[in-house]
Amino acid sequence: MRRTVFLDTSYFLALIRKKDSLHEAALGVAASYTGSFVTTDLVLVEFANSLSQPPYRATATAVIEKIRTDGNIKVLPFDSDGMEKALALYNDRPDKAWGLVDCFSFVIMKEERLKMALSFDEHFRQAGFEVPLLDS
């Protein structure tokens, strides 16, 4: 079944880090999934921040450019409306350790009617989304 799926920072990081214990699981999904994808500018910022050390910067830039030009991946922008919605969710859930980037991702997933995230982050499951990589 083809469906549109959200791509999270943890998935992108596992995909490119060959020594990551989650690398093989990420590669398996990348090789087998045929649907379309959604991510956000904030996910790409978080990805770049995770690879900000000098040896990794060129890789981060190359991966981000590939994502941004891939016609099968829709990259949604972060704007003041998104900030308001993400901050509202962040404030409405003091019982959770969700970061603001995750909250924006959840807002986007609801607005885009996405039910599944490729992520290794338990927060997506806590927010009510399907996270098949956590089951692998």
Give tens-digit pLDDT for 31-56. Answer: 777 789 999 999 999 999 999 999 99
Question: Confidence band (pLDDT; 50, 70, 90) for 27?
Answer: confident
Q: Which residue has the tokens 């099968």?
A: 72
Where helices occur in the chain by DSSP H, the ranges are 9-16, 23-32, 41-50, 57-69, 80-92, 100-111, 122-126
Burial class (CB in 10 A: 0-12, 13-18, 19+), 133: buried
Q: Is the pLDDT of residue 30 over 80?
A: no
Task: Give the CATH number of domain 5-127; options: 3.40.50.300, 3.90.1150.10, 3.40.50.1010, 1.10.3720.10.
Answer: 3.40.50.1010
